[in-house]
Amino acid sequence: MRVTQQEIARIANVSQATVSRVLAGDVRVEPEKRTAVLDAMKRSNYRPDVRAQALRRKRTCLIGLVLKRSDGGIKDDPFFASLISELARVLKPSKYHLCLDIARDSSDQSSVYDELLRSRRVDGLVLVEPEADDRRLIRLQEDRFPFVVIGNPRGRALHSFDNDNVLAARMATMHLLDNGFRRVGMLAGPTGVTVSDDRVLGYRMAMSERGFSDQVWHSDFGFEAACTTAESLLNDSNLEGLVCMDDFMATGVTRAARHLGISIPGDLAMVSFNDSNLCNLIDGGLTSVNMNHETMIREAVSKLIGLIESTERSEPSRMVIPCELKVRGSSMRKVGGGLL
């Protein structure tokens, strides 16, 4: 059997409660005994049992992240990779750990939530890109369960961390328009997903401000879907510029374009979102909007831990993280017949 506080107490000739006190850093312990206890702990290589602690303290020190993506979809999406990696990194210096689950669809996701939080497996939840009609949020709030949302709260009062996607898309679109491209279209994600809807909005704002008509195509997330949609999109229209939902989908567009003999830039200018490493893999680089995910996640985690550890209900806060356009080759201006 593993060594317990009981065991340490026996060795150090104190009560088990004293061992617990030493562990908790209680000041009211005689230095001699404290030393004896610490010594016994070291000698027996003692470690408190987190399961017992969890039961007693009602805290598992686990943060849950539930990703919803159809089969294998998260595998190659740099947004998720970056999200997970950053989350784990931010959590590292804290005492919390990351519990990662995957759900296939919304109903599946709900049941994962149930398993995770009704069974009290995690202390709090990080929600990503909640869909507009999401019922989860209401349940979570009713249960007074600590959670933060990464993405647009859609007017609901909760703790959210988000970019201004409308603004970001407007900025990206304006950049293309400023560079002299006129027939600028947009390849968006599925309707109903907030991040996509917002970017569509921003794109439309920019286009109408400048008096151009807009044209939006919707596609599922991911490389393959974007590639397929892009093929027909490029065939049916003669766009000069394209605002693409994210870098990962942009690589799909790149592939479709290459397949059709359309060169980017030159025949088609493109801007995208996320500023991931994929931007460097495309010839000449892909102009992309950096969403500052690192900052966003750091802030979100810090708030979540605050929620978990304080009993008081803090006022819902919405934090908007600024974006920054990273200009690369894909959005270069046409000058004469060549590129600038």
Binding to DNA (CB under 7 A) within 10-29 occurs at 14-18, 20-21, 23-24, 26-29
What is the rounded CA–CA span in Å between residue 157 and residue 318? 8
Binding-residue total with DNA (CB under 7 A): 30
Q: Is 234 helix (H, G, I), strand (E, B) or coil?
A: helix
Cβ–Cβ contacts within 10 Å for residue 182, how many?
A: 12
- For residue 18, the minimal CB distance to DNA (Å) is 4
Given the rule CB under 8 A, which of 19-27, 28-36, 151-159, 275-283 is the region that contacts its own copies? Answer: 275-283
Residue 206's nearest CA partner among 245, 175, 237 is: 175
Nearest to 267 by CA among 225, 237, 224, 288: 237
Angle between helices 31-44 and 5-12 (to 10 degrees): 120
Rounded CA gap, 26 and 11, in Å? Answer: 20
Query: Which x/- pattern, by CB under 8 A, does the window 33-62 give for its own copies?
Result: ------------x-xxxxxx-xx--x-x-x
| Binding status of residue 178 toward DNA by CB under 7 A | no
Q: How many residues does the chain have?
A: 340
Considering the complex, what minimum distance in angstroms separates the CB of residue 204 from its own copies?
29
CA distances from 306 to 299, 303, 310, 311 (A): 11, 5, 6, 9
Binds its own copies by CB under 8 A, chosen from 12, 140, 158, 278 = 278
User: Taking the complex as a whole, how short is the minimal distance between the CB of residue 219 and its own copies, in angstroms?
Assistant: 16
Binding site for DNA (CB under 7 A): 1-2, 4-6, 14-18, 20-21, 23-24, 26-30, 32-34, 48-49, 52-53, 55-58
Binding site for its own copies (CB under 8 A): 2, 45, 47-52, 54-55, 58, 60, 62, 67, 71-72, 74-76, 78, 80-82, 84-86, 88-89, 92, 97-102, 114, 116, 118-121, 223, 251, 254-255, 258, 276-278, 280-283
